[in-house]
Chains A and B, each alone.
Chain A
Amino acid sequence: MAQIDLKNIAHSYAAAPSSEDDFALKKLDVSWQDGGAYALLGPSGCGKTTLLNIISGLLHPTQGAVLFDGADITPKPPEARNIAQVFQFPVIYDTMTVYQNLAFPLQNRKVPKRQIDVRVRRLADMLELSKYLSRKARDLSADEKQKISLGRGLIREDVAAILFDEPLTVIDPQLKWSLRSQLKRLHAEFNHTMIYVTHDQTEALTFADQVIVMSEGEIVQTASPQELFERPAHTFVGRFIGSPGMNVLPCAIDNTNVILAGHAINIGRNVTLPSDAERIELGVRPEFVKISTDENALPATVEAIEDAGRYRIARLRLHDLQLAVILPDGAALPSGTTGVIFDTENTHIYADGHLVERRA
């Protein structure tokens, strides 16, 4: 187990990168604390798998250094890095039994037979694979095969970190939940540093203590799930996380007032915009907007009501702006022209996409 630091890492798949656009991963510094549970969250193609492969050594970064406990291991190949990785699709050794599959990483590292046996049986127990141990791995279902892949990632006790590359993509939804909680349990038990790549926010938010949100090769925000929800550092995070995502509405600032669609709203604090800000936006999550017929409510028209199962979403039109509102349980369904009130505490101002910090 180790602390992992990425210093100044950038990566380009082009042989001779000439511009910023050639980089799949733009210059970044990250520190992963020993024993932490991290998620790398972002849409497809944002560079999260690239980042993961740089940590495991499958990719050599174009620039920068990878440090394990302060030691530079950038030139080392994966087998010399003491790292485990689980891939998106099940990778199993067809001709081996489940037992042999699980034991394989340990055998290659010359672990004594008796120790292997103890470890394999214990892990198989946790992953509910015990009854299959003597079966050929290829006879199992996709779910079980992926469990074997997970098992091979978790089998070594001494790894610096375990990397997961969207490991639950092929798993049935019901089983996803149980596997994810198993992973959390294993994390609590073995205290490995775990880095979990996913594009599924639910997966990231339920698994990790710290979520790193990526977009277009850059880290947009590193924060706890709660902070990502309450204070997105970037409109991208606001939109990407949440269902539906944050409402991001263009606005203007006039002293203490925010001018939105021709109406002034007091958000209860002063904001100081950076002098070169071009695009000013207001961000508020659908959870923090209330339907109200109060006289200082902003007039809005109901366009549609969607039923998302656990809650209902009202789609509103505010002058020429679209707004989503999550309706509280049991609330009367609004219709026609009504009004909305923003929870000022949870209303944020963004300049060119970035959160403008509040001032006391």
Chain B
Amino acid sequence: MQKTHDHKALWLVAPALLLVAFTAVIPLMTVVNYSVQDTFGNNQFFWVGAEWYREILRSDRFHAAFLRQIAFSATILAIEIPLGLAIALSMPKKGLGVSVCLVLMALPLLIPWNVVGTIWQIFARVDIGLLGHTLNGLGIDFNYTQNAGAAWATLIIMDVWHWTSLVVLLCYAGLVAIPPAYYQAARIDGASRWAVFRYIELPKMSRVLLIAVLLRFMDSFMIYTEPFVVTGGGPGNATTFLSVDLVKMAIGQFDLGPAAAMSVIYFLIVILVSWAFYTIMTREDFEPSGGAR
């Protein structure tokens, strides 16, 4: 085959490249620029090298926020992925039920983040919230402004309520794309319900599940609005996740250098973990043909 060696294709990519440069690459580079300098105002900057990085990586405050963040993402993934799968599997495949279920599922996704936060902030309040008031009426000590456990529970339930639908919709799309012949063949082959799930549905859904896991991980790892609205990072620092901490540092304390260094580290972590998920979940595809001998 003859390959063409002119560079016309470059012109086709150029507009997108330009857009990405202005929206992502250049702002990111500004952050990188801040992260290696210090300033005492007056728009004067001094080169400090990797100083801020060292400081952030050694700071207990960052470690604590990072651990909280990992714990939060792990918890919501552990709940939302199996729950979403289970709901998708039990949704009807045809008839009027399909549209009803889809609309119900899509509803939480249509609500803006800060509104979701406000809904739950009020819902869980001890004085007027339906949930908070009822729980306390039942004798359960539930107060997310004072109790770290209650704050975590509120945020996790809120996230599950808000985002499980996304997993459901993705899984459902994967499920309905399976040709009926697969189910028919499984019945003829005498496969159990579990075998149908394990050998037909799960493999056919692996791609959408990967997307669901990646989206939910990245999103939850960067969660800001909801904890900011509901708990403000408290009580104490109990729900101060990475982005909440970052905003406190950058805008609250106006420590531009350390905040920029933290942003870069944060960014690298998200990329690294996403890559790890991707590699693990698609490792079978990378297996050379006939490798499993």
Contacts and interface: CB of A to CB of B under 8 A. Distances in A.
A245 B199 CA distance: 46
Given A91-B182, A94-B204, A134 B189 contact: no
A36 interface: no
Given A104-B191, A108-B189, A108-B190, A93 B199 contact: yes
B103 to A, nearest CB: 25
Interface residues of A, number: 28
B188 A93 contact: no
Contacts of A149: 185
Contacts of B292: 97, 134-136
A96 B199 contact: yes
Interface stretch (A78-86, A222-230, A281-289, A330-338): A78-86
Contact of A85 (B179, B185, B200): B185
B112 interface: no
Given A96-B199, A139-B289, A79 B182 contact: no
A93 B181 CA distance: 12
Interface string A146-183: 00010010000000000000000000000000000000
Nearest to B191: A108
A289 to B, nearest CB: 44
Given A87-B185, A108-B189, A152-B185, A93 B200 contact: yes
B181 A91 contact: yes
Interface in A60-105: 77-79, 83-85, 87-89, 91, 93-97, 104-105
Contact of A93 (B187, B203, B284, B289): B203
A36 to B, nearest CB: 20
Nearest to B200: A93
Contacts of B179: 89, 91
A78 B203 contact: no
A84 B188 contact: yes
A152 B187 contact: no
Nearest to A165: B181
Interface in B261-293: 284, 287, 289-290, 292-293
A109 interface: yes
A56 interface: yes
B199 A85 contact: no
B185 A91 contact: yes
A159 to B, nearest CB: 10
Nearest to B192: A108
B184 interface: yes
A30 B241 CA distance: 72
Question: How many B residues are at the interface, by size bracket?
Answer: 20 to 34
Interface in B155-189: 179, 181-182, 184-185, 187-189
A80 B185 CA distance: 14
Interface in B182-218: 182, 184-185, 187-192, 195, 199-200, 203-204
A78 B192 contact: no
B188 A78 contact: yes
B209 to A, nearest CB: 13
A79 B188 contact: yes
A58 interface: yes
Nearest to B179: A89
Contacts, number: 65
A94 B188 contact: no
A190 to B, nearest CB: 17
Contacts of B191: 104, 108
B290 A89 contact: no
B224 to A, nearest CB: 38
A94 B293 CA distance: 16
A257 B293 CA distance: 75
A78 B203 CA distance: 24
Contacts of A91: 179, 181-182, 185
Contact of B187 (A77, A88, A96, A134): A77
Nearest to B288: A139
Contacts of A53: 184
B190 A105 contact: yes
B204 A104 contact: no
Contacts of B290: 134-135, 139
A95 B187 contact: no
A79 B185 contact: no
A87 B181 contact: yes
Contacts of B203: 93-95
A85 B185 CA distance: 7
Interface centre among A83, A91, A96, A105 (most CB of B within 10 A): A91
B181 A88 contact: yes
Contacts of A93: 199-200, 203
Interface of A: 53, 56, 58, 77-79, 83-85, 87-89, 91, 93-97, 104-105, 108-109, 134-136, 139, 149, 152
30 contacts: A56-B188, A58-B184, A58-B188, A78-B188, A79-B187, A79-B188, A83-B188, A85-B184, A85-B188, A87-B181, A87-B185, A91-B181, A93-B199, A93-B200, A94-B203, A94-B204, A95-B199, A95-B203, A95-B284, A97-B292, A104-B191, A104-B199, A108-B195, A109-B190, A134-B290, A134-B292, A136-B289, A136-B292, A139-B290, A152-B189
Given A53-B184, A77-B187, A104-B189, 12 more contacts: A79-B187, A79-B188, A79-B190, A87-B181, A93-B199, A94-B204, A97-B292, A105-B189, A108-B192, A135-B290, A135-B292, A152-B185
Interface of B: 179, 181-182, 184-185, 187-192, 195, 199-200, 203-204, 284, 287, 289-290, 292-293
- The list of the 9 closest CB pairs from A to B, nearest first, reads A108-B190, A91-B185, A105-B189, A94-B203, A93-B199, A87-B181, A79-B190, A78-B187, A95-B203
